[in-house]
Amino acid sequence: MTDLGADAAPVRAFWEGLGLPGLVDAHVHFLPPNIQRAVYAQFDEAGPKIGREWPIRYRVSHRSRVALLREMGVRRFPTLPYAHKPGVATYLNAWSWEFAAGVPEVIWSGTFYPEPDAAAYVADLVDAGVELFKLHLQVGEFHLDDPLLDRVWGVLEDAGTPVLVHAGSGPVGNRFTGPASTMRVLAKHPRLTLLLAHMGAPEVEDFLRVTEHYDNVRLDTTMVFTDFFPPYPRELLPRLADLGHKVLLGTDFPTIPYAYAHQLEGLARLDLGDDWLRQVCWENGAALFGVPSDPPD
């Protein structure tokens, strides 16, 4: 059995070497046990769809995962529930609130789905202080500009609450993925705070352009720059360097097929400088989500 505790040392060495107090990881999942099992099953069966196996490295209990994140020095992390059909979001939101209440490092996360009551429950969550929403267009099979979300975007634009969106077509696209619906929503709501998961892969240049154009749009690094993903186009790296203030560390922990430190190694290999790494791995996340609370003894 893999000694997951040994994964912590290289992670700590990375951020200590940069003189940071730890890491802020914008893309971590904690889900209700029944939903978590269903997600794991999807990844277990993903091989034929993506052309390679996807062994989940951190398939351990919630308690063990929180302990490992703390040992690695990940000082803030979300839960990122995402609804795959109508009627599920409120259940996920209730569970996520309860989980966040017991783990001070958690970025309290919610989700929503195109359904008649979405605007009402999103407004309630915003009023209660939710810190981040997660949407997954590929899994949920909806466009970001679905008419049932029109009022939701108005609420979120005014509130400034970030929304982490998996809109890119990786690992397997469908008719709902790609940059088109994201661009349509931003054209109507240009002040929205969006965080684009996986750098928008594989449509990385399109989503890079979107991030350059809109002040409140950011990128997360999840799985990009690792050996598991296709190489990032090197001709885009100068533009990415200029966007160091708009890129946040993301990993997809626990559902990754390699050690956590491999994401950090991939960022370092870009050779964009220590200041860029400090922005991505700590400063931008701390600015967006606030500094971490101390965990319980």
* pLDDT (tens digit per residue) in 197-208: 999 999 999 999
Domain holding 174, by residue range, is: 4-14+22-288
In a domain, 295, yes or no: no
pLDDT at 1 over 60: no
Q: In this predicted model, what pLDDT tens digit does every residue of 142-162 receive, in sequence order?
A: 999 999 999 999 999 999 999
Q: Are strands 217-220 and 194-196 parallel, antiparallel or unpaired?
A: parallel
Q: With cut-offs at 50, 70 and 90, classify the pLDDT of residue 2.
A: low
DSSP string, 108-157: -EEE--SSTTHHHHHHHHHHHT--EEEEEHHHHT--TT-GGGHHHHHHHH
Q: With cut-offs at 50, 70 and 90, classify the pLDDT of residue 239.
A: very high
Q: In this predicted model, what pLDDT tens digit does every residue of 72-102 receive, in sequence order?
A: 999 999 999 999 999 999 999 999 999 999 9
Q: With cut-offs at 50, 70 and 90, classify the pLDDT of residue 297.
A: low
Q: How many C-beta atoms surround the C-beta of residue 226 within 10 A?
A: 20
In a domain, 155, yes or no: yes
Which three-class secondary structure state does DSSP give residue 259? coil
Q: In this predicted model, what pLDDT tens digit does every residue of 12-70 receive, in sequence order?
A: 999 999 999 999 999 999 999 999 999 998 888 876 667 778 999 999 999 999 999 99
- Can you tell me which residue has the tokens 């559902």? 255
Q: Tally the domains of the chain.
A: 1
In a domain, 53, yes or no: yes
- Residue 2: exposure state from Cβ atoms within 10 A (0-12, 13-18, ≥19): exposed
Look up the CATH number of the domain holding residue 98.
3.20.20.140
Which three-class secondary structure state does DSSP give residue 248? strand
Which three-class secondary structure state does DSSP give residue 164? strand
In a domain, 293, yes or no: no
In a domain, 203, yes or no: yes
109 backbone dihedrals φ, ψ, rounded to 5°: -115, 145
Q: Give me the pLDDT at residue 264, please.
A: 98
User: What is the share, in percent, of the chain residues with pLDDT greater than 90?
Assistant: 89
In a domain, 254, yes or no: yes
- Nearest alpha-carbon partner for 243 in 291, 189, 180, 195: 195
Q: Which two tokens stand for residue 250?
A: 């993301």
In a domain, 62, yes or no: yes
In a domain, 294, yes or no: no
Q: Which two tokens stand for residue 131?
A: 């810190």
